[in-house]
Homo-oligomer: A and B are copies of this chain.
Amino acid sequence: MPNPTAAILVIGDEILSGRTREGNAHYLAGELSRIGIDLREVRIVPDDHDGIVAAVRALSDRVDHVFTSGGIGPTHDDITADAVGAAFGATVDVREDARALLAAHYAARGVELNEARLRMARIPEGATLIDNPVSVAPGFTIGNVNVMAGVPSVFQAMVASVLPLMTGGRPLLSQTLRVMRPEGEVAGVLGALAAAHPGVTMGSYPFQSNGAFGTNLVVRGPEAAEVDAAMTALAGAFPETAA
C-alpha cells in the first residue's frame, strides 16, 4: 500500500518579503518522513483571503493531509481561520469550547480576554480543536486540513498533538555516502546503479569543502534491505570511501 501523502501551506507576507526565514516546513518535513507520510508539496502564500482559499482547496483535493502554518493569532492580519472555513463552506465564529479554554487561561493569569484575544476562539463549525500546550489558543482540523500557528514553539507543539492521530506508512529510510569527487565524475556510475536498484531513489548533492569538490550520494527507500544493498553497491563503486 502506498504511503499517505501530505502538503504544507505556509501563510505569511513576512516570509515572502524575505524578512523571516521559514523553518516550520523544514521541521514538519522531517517529522513526516519519520512516520512514513510522503510530503508532496510546500507552498508559501501571502496574507490574502482569496489566495489562501484557492491554495487550501487545491492542496486538500490532491493529498491526504494538509498542514497550514501561520495567521491564526489575535491581530487584524490573522485571516487563516476565516479563509480555511470559506474553503470548506463552513461558517466561522467564536466557538464556546475554544472561548472557554481562553477564558480559563487568561483568568488564571489575571489577564483580560479582550476582543482581540477572543478572535483566537474563531473556529469553523464542524472543526476539531488542536491542543496547544504552549499558549492555549487552539489550532483546528477541518476535513483533511490541520490549521496551526506560525510561532515555531507553538507549531511544533501542535504537530506533536496531531501527528499521533494519523496513520503513517513505511518511514523513508536514507543513507548517505560522502565522495570527494565532483558530481560530473560520479554521475555516470550513479545513474547506472540507480537503474539497477529500482526499489530506491538515488540523489546526488554536490558540495565544496576547503576548495575541493565533493558529492553526497543519498539512497532513499522504504525497505531497509534494498537501501542496504544499494548503498553496498555504491560504496563498492567508490572504493576510496572504505573505512
Contacts and interface: CB of A to CB of B under 8 A. Distances in A.
A209 to B, nearest CB: 13
A49 to B, nearest CB: 14
Given A13-B203, A116-B187, 11 more contacts: A16-B29, A16-B39, A16-B41, A18-B39, A41-B45, A43-B43, A73-B204, A75-B186, A115-B188, A116-B188, A151-B207
Interface in A145-171: 151, 153
A201 to B, nearest CB: 7
B13 A18 contact: no
A237 to B, nearest CB: 14
Given A21-B23, A187-B116, A191-B116, A13 B76 contact: no
Contacts of A44: 25, 41-43
B75 A204 contact: yes
Interface string A31-55: 1110000011111111100010000
Contact of A26 (B22, B51, B111, B188): B22
A142 interface: no
Given A18-B30, A20-B205, A151-B206, A190 B76 contact: yes
A227 interface: no
Interface residues of A, number: 66
Copies of this chain assembled into the complex: 2
A14 B188 contact: no
A130 to B, nearest CB: 18
B17 A172 contact: yes
A74 to B, nearest CB: 4
Contacts of A201: 13, 47, 77
A122 interface: no
Contact of A77 (B13, B114, B116, B203): B203
A65 interface: no
A143 B23 CA distance: 32
Closest 6 CB pairs of A and B: A18-B30, A116-B187, A18-B29, A76-B191, A42-B44, A117-B184
A174 B204 CA distance: 39
Given A183-B74, A206-B151, A33 B46 contact: no
